A = this chain, B = another copy of it.
Amino acid sequence: MEDLSGIGKRAKAASFVLAALENDEKREALMGAAKALMANASFIIAENEKDMAAAREKGVSPAMLDRLVLNKKKINEMAEGMRQVASLPDPNNELLETFTRPNGMVIEKRRVPVGVIGIIYESRPNVTADAFALTFRSGNACILRGGSDAINSNSAITEVIRESLSKGEKDLSDAVILIKDTSHESVSELVKMNRYLDLIIPRGGAGLIRNVVNNSTVPVIETGTGNCHVYVDKDADLEKAVPIIVNGKTQRMGVCNAVESLVVHKDIAEKALPLIYAALHEKEVEIRGDDFSAAALQGREGVKSATEEDYGTEYLGPVISVKTVSSLEEAIDHINRFSTHHSECIVTENRESAETFLKRVDAACVYHNVSTRFTDGFEFGFGAEIGISTQKIHARGPMGLKELMSYKYEIRGEGQIRP
């Protein structure tokens, strides 16, 4: 069994060194790691080939092989991502607030790294490089626990990065440590290592996330489940509604900010639904509707009845549920009940209805006349993204560098004591 405590201890020690690095040191180390990835592409591809061979033997799906495979182009993308992260402003030591108290002491609130971040993820080996880049740029050490499918690829990438990090003035190699034990036990142990870890971010399917949330004693940020709705209000402009729905549902089906459910006001349903149906049917999307919407679409191909379960399902594929409502209130209640609090949209020309929706719907991102597909760190202009938080603690919505930071108070005085 791997010595996870030893790994934790090394990462903790590295985190103190990282927190004290200058901007230039971090930038140069990242540029060096990007260069090393390119220089060692053949080695990484050869190691990846071992994972690919094992996956082919297991008979995994082509989609899965596509996620697993590394080639020159993908390694180039990883390196380019690293260079982009290197070019982002350093969030460390940023002054957030300052105030002087009546006794003369000056309080400064400043951003500091969280410390050691554990990332538990599944088959995509590019996460190894991305997660390292973001945690390193924000001055954090990371402990990575990838899946068994990609173990050779992940090991190779980590080895190349660590080797590069060891070559500077300071040995920074423990900024990233990969756990090679891919058993369930290593996850179980990692999520209890409060002494060394400050935060755990699971990246993967619902099962992985649930397992981490249920077992971790280290603080966790939940990411990635999106049962996103578009509400077509009675005052909607259908020339906006239809493209927003089609974009949300079909531009990319398997992602968390894709639309899974429509809520349609009954006053507009008979006009709206046939148009929406036509546009979605062309993209081969199946519609599962309630009685009212089924009636509005009577006789059309590919329309089924929705169950309660449908309203709670994140399809991640060519299916969409439809619920009709008699009021904005009912729409908001329905969404708040079934939402995973990720991204929700209202299409309306009525400003008051839009404001009510934006204020009362409980989600990380609430949209008025904009596609939910914009919930993304790059689209928001953060320059990077480690995931999309669906919880309300610490970070909500797209997480960039700032969301990987904590803060501290620095208090300066001349001998003040409390009376």
Q: State A15–B115 Cα separation when bound (angstroms).
A: 33
Check: A358 CB closer than 8 A to any chain B CB: yes
Q: How far is the CA of A370 from the CA of B406 in the complex (A)?
A: 23
Give which listed residue, B370, B394, B396, B418, contacts A393 with CB less than 8 A. B394
18 more contacts with CB within 8 A, not counting A219-B393, A369-B414, are A16-B336, A93-B359, A101-B374, A114-B393, A219-B391, A240-B414, A251-B418, A358-B410, A366-B408, A366-B410, A367-B411, A368-B413, A369-B415, A370-B417, A380-B409, A393-B393, A393-B394, A396-B406
Residues of chain B contacted by A409 (CB below 8 angstroms): 364-366, 380, 396-397
In the complex, A394 Cα to B213 Cα: how many Å? 17
A115 lies within 8 A of B392 (CB): yes
What separation, in Å, do the CA atoms of A362 and B141 have in the docked complex? 14
Number of copies: 2
Contacts of A397 in B (CB 8 A): 408-409
Are B115 and A362 neighbours in the complex by a CB distance under 8 Å?
yes
Contact present for A411 and B219 (CB under 8 Å): no
CB-defined interface of A233-248 with B at 8 Å, one 1/0 digit per residue?
Answer: 0000101100110010
Please, how many angstroms separate the alpha-carbon atoms of A199 and B251 in the complex?
35
Report which A residues bind B (CB closer than 8 A): 16, 19-20, 93, 99, 101, 105, 107, 114-115, 194, 198-199, 213-214, 217, 219-221, 237, 239-240, 243-244, 247, 251, 336, 354, 358-360, 362-371, 373-374, 379-381, 391-394, 396-397, 406-418
- Known interface pairs A418-B247, A418-B251. Does A392 touch B217 (Cβ–Cβ under 8 Å)? no
The complex places the Cα of A333 from the Cα of B349 at a distance, in Å, of: 61
CB-defined contacts of A362 to chain B, threshold 8 Å = 16, 19, 115
In whole angstroms, how far apart are the Cα atoms of A370 and B366 in the complex?
Answer: 44
Complex alpha-carbon distance, A412 and B82, angstroms: 31
User: In the bound complex, how far is the Cα of B369 from the Cα of A107, in angstroms?
Assistant: 13
Report Cα–Cα, A412/B105, bound state, in Å.
Answer: 42
Main secondary structure of the interface of A (DSSP, over half): mixed
Residues of B within 8 A of A369 (CB): 412-416
Which of chain B's residues have a CB closer than 8 A to the CB of A217? 213-214
> Which of A380, A414, A417 gathers the greatest number of chain B CB atoms within 10 Å?
A417
Asked if residues A379 and B213 are in contact (CB atoms below 8 Å), the reply is no
**What chain B residues lie within 8 Å of A237 (beta carbons)?**
415
Shortest Cβ distance from A247 into B: residue:
B417
Contact A418–B373 (Cβ < 8 Å): yes
Q: How far is B9's CA from A336's CA once the two chains are assembled, in angstroms?
A: 13
For the complex, give the distance between the alpha carbons of A101 and B217 in Å. 38
Whether the pair B243, A417 counts as a contact (CB closer than 8 A) is: yes
Could you jot down 20 A-B contacts, CB within 8 Å?
A16-B360, A19-B359, A19-B362, A105-B374, A198-B391, A199-B393, A219-B220, A239-B415, A243-B415, A364-B409, A367-B413, A368-B411, A369-B414, A370-B417, A371-B418, A374-B411, A392-B406, A393-B393, A396-B408, A396-B409
B244→A408 contact, CB < 8 A: no
